[in-house]
């Protein structure tokens, strides 16, 4: 796949359809400037601000854009909130649809065929592989991202974080916790 992509890039460059420098800038932007820290700040705000929390669940696209995170692959967003009785997991069974403005570029495993098929058939097994073991009575809902709609999981706020401010809370929010293959980190004692 790597070779095919590079071959395609060479042909398109030779024909003058793309500028490799522009491609490098795009990739660098999504790898370094835009990334899961954006999503983490959205989650942290929802944890501390009840009004924002309600807005985020009602109209995620607008609520997220109000924090300056918008653009390609994030035009239509839906936030799904974890609760004690329900855990959410996001996949794109067709390809690799992913909310770039809040999470950056998808990890390799997210694009892999085994994750894409097994997340639907055996979500509990997939979670166990990621080290997340939920009680049997916790329902797992799997959300299939599409080109039209991208999902972001709102993880549960960890216990013992009552005195933490928004920035400190954001540091507990991992990329995987916003895909649903992880949980928010516990605060260090």
Q: Is 145 a catalytic residue?
A: no
Residue 171 annotated to the active site = no
Distances in Å between the Cα of 72 and the Cα atoms of 38, 62, 150, 167 are 14, 14, 11, 26
Q: Least CB distance from residue 93 to Fe ion, whole Å? A: 8
Burial of residue 107, with CB atoms counted within 10 A of its CB: 0-12 exposed, 13-18 middle, 19 or more buried: middle
Token pair listed for 155: 């993880």
Residue 117 lies near Fe ion (rule: CB under 5 A): no
Q: Is residue 92 annotated as part of the catalytic site, yes or no? A: yes
Instruction: Tell me whether residue 45 is exposed, middle or buried, using C-beta atoms within 10 angstroms of its C-beta: 0 to 12, 13 to 18, 19 or more.
Output: buried
Q: Is 96 a catalytic residue?
A: yes
Neighbouring CB atoms inside 10 A of 132's CB total 18
DSSP 3-state percent helix, strand, coil across the chain (nearest 5): 45, 10, 40
Among 26, 83, 95, 128, the residue binding Fe ion under the rule CB under 5 A is 95
User: Which of residues 43, 44, 91, 97 is near Fe ion by CB under 5 A?
Assistant: 97
Q: Which stretch binds Fe ion (CB under 5 A): 50-58, 70-78, 96-104, 127-135?
A: 96-104
Among 92, 127, 153, 172, binds Fe ion (CB under 5 A): 92
173 near Fe ion (CB under 5 A): no
Only segment of 27-35, 85-93, 124-132, 180-188 that touches Fe ion (CB under 5 A): 85-93
Question: Least distance from C-beta 144 to Fe ion, angstroms?
Answer: 9
Q: Rounded to whole angstroms, how far apart are CA atoms 64 and 176?
A: 18
Active site members:
92, 95-97
Question: Which residues of the shown chain bind Fe ion in the complex (CB under 5 A)?
Answer: 92, 94-97
């Amino acid at each position: 796949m790597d070779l095919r992509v590079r071959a395609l890039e060479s042909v398109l460059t030779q024909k003058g359809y793309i500028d490799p420098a522009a491609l490098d800038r795009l990739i660098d932007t999504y790898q370094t400037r835009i990334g899961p820290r954006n999503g983490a700040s959205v989650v942290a705000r929802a944890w501390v601000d009840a009004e924002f929390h309600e807005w985020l669940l009602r109209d995620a696209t607008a609520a997220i854009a109000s924090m300056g995170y918008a653009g390609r692959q994030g035009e239509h967003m839906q936030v799904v909130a974890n609760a004690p009785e329900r855990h959410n997991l996001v996949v794109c069974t067709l390809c690799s649809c992913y909310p770039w403005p809040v999470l950056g570029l998808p990890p390799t495993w997210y694009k892999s065929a085994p994750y894409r098929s097994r997340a639907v058939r055996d979500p509990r097994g997939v979670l166990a592989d990621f080290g997340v073991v939920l009680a049997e009575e916790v329902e797992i809902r799997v959300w299939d991202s599409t080109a039209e709609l991208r999902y972001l999981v709102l993880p549960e706020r960890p216990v013992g974080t009552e005195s933490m401010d928004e920035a400190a809370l954001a540091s507990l929010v991992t990329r995987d916790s916003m895909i649903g293959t992880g949980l928010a980190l516990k605060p260090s004692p």
